[in-house]
Structure 1
Amino acid sequence: MADDKANTLISVNGIIISIVLSTLFPKLDNNAFLIWPALNLVAFSIITIIICIISTIPRTTHGFISKEDISHKRGNLTFFGNFHKMSLEDFEWGIGELMKDREYLYNSMSRDLYFLGKVLTKKYTFLRWAYIIFVVGLISSIFFFVLGINDIL
């Protein structure tokens, strides 16, 4: 869901940048009062896009848990980032070991949920900032536009 929200913000701001560049910038020669609203809107849109991209950068780990780690119940096979470089045979063996020990299974699942929450907290923090910056950019662009119109009236 967080990635979908980031994608929506990226798309909306991409469209805003396209519209501003294609419609407002060609008119700046005759309408100098549009310079600050246009630059402001483009700048805030770019900042919003950058923050959204940062929020969607995948975070993975080394991708391998040894048999020794599994035997000593140190590895967490419930998170893909911990096993993506393991062979199928070792992974199946590890899952078998995980399933034999109810406490190890539940601890692994609990750790997976905990760290998933940590990752989502970071994503939503970045998204919250992206939305705030987006709204501030819109409001300040409208403010600059109104100031520019008042100057010519």
Structure 2
Amino acid sequence: VDKINHFSKVPEDRTAVDNILRVNHGNQMRLNLMADAKANIMITVASVVFSVAIANLDNELVKWPLLTFAFGCFFALLFAIFAIIPKTDYPKDITGDIDRKSPIFNPLFFGHFAHLPIDEYKEDYAETLMTDDSVYDAMAGDIYGQGKILALRKYKFLKWSYMSFLLGMISAVIVFVLQGPFGDVVLDGASNILDVIIGELNF
């Protein structure tokens, strides 16, 4: 499928167009840096908490809460690592080579042009620079590619990482409360409530 130039009707030499592309691209870069920073923070925190939890499993009083928290930290660590693993897929043709005519081929993205010989890369780059609309098209494609990776990969895994850590922490507190002196009271109360509900349903 050949590329379609959606920017052929955009007037050239418009400062507003240049500004919005620059701002949009800058925002994407900042979001990318923020995602990496948050993932690195979670990797550090989850690693430390996981290590401390595993090291104190011999304490019978907090064994099960710590094991529960360690379980959540493990998945938080795993998802945070997935969030920062580089994704450099590229469009391929039927022979398995990079498809330069694909609509998603981006001559500005290293994951794509790294698979081209330097002469072909320069040829594509020169063609991109020929007109303003082709530059707009390349910039929009680059912004779209970055946004897709951010939304469907980095921030998705980052959300799962923070949720795993939070659920692990909450579950650890619940386990600690249930195994403490109030555990029997809570379980008895829950059992009585369940019996009442079942009785009402049967009635």
> Structure 1: which 5+ residue stretches go unaligned?
none
| Residue 12 (str. 1) matches residue 42 (str. 2) | no
Alignment of 1:1-153 (within 5 A): 1-22=34-55, 24-27=56-59, 31=60, 33-62=61-90, 64=98, 66=100, 69=101, 75-122=105-152, 123-150=154-181
Bigger radius of gyration: 2
After the TM superposition, which of the residue ranges 74-83 and 108-117 deviates more from structure 2?
74-83
Structure with the bigger percentage of helix: 1
Shift of 1:62: 3.6
- Asked if structure 2 preserves the Cα contact closer than 8 Å seen for 1:34 and 1:148, the reply is no
| TM-score using structure 2 length | 0.62
TM-superposed CA distance for 1:40, in Å, is: 0.3
- Shift in Å, 1:89: 3.1
SS in 1 for 2:116: coil
Question: Structure 1 residues 117 and 137, CA, compared in 2 at 3 Å: closer, same or farther?
Answer: same
Change (3 A) 1:46 1:139: same
Q: What residue in structure 1 maps to residue 198 of structure 2?
A: none
My pick for the range that moved more, 100-109 or 88-97, is: 88-97
CA spacing shift, 1:18–1:96, aligned 2, 3 Å: same
CA distance 1:98–1:115, change in 2 (3 Å): same
TM-score (norm 1): 0.80
**AA at the equivalent of 1:56:** I
* Counterparts in 2 of 1:145 and 1:74: CA distance versus 1, 3 Å: closer
> Alignment identity in percent?
29
Shift of 1:140: 1.4
Check conservation: 1:65, 1:82, Cα contact below 8 A: no
**What whole-Å deviation, never above 9, does each CA across 1:25-72 have from its counterpart, x for those lacking one?**
232xxx2x4222011011111111111122222211348465xx49xx
Say how many residue pairs are matched.
Answer: 144
Structure 2, unaligned stretches of length 5 or more? 1-33, 92-97, 184-203
Q: Could you tell me which amino acid in structure 2 is paired with residue 35 of structure 1? A: K
C-alpha RMSD of the superposition: 2.6
Shift of 1:148: 2.4
| SS, match of residue 60 in structure 1 | coil
* Cα distance in 2 for residues equivalent to 1:80 and 1:87: 13
CA–CA distance in structure 1, aligned partners of residues 48 and 105 of structure 2: 45
Report the alpha carbon displacement of residue 77 of structure 1 after superposing the two structures with TM.
0.7
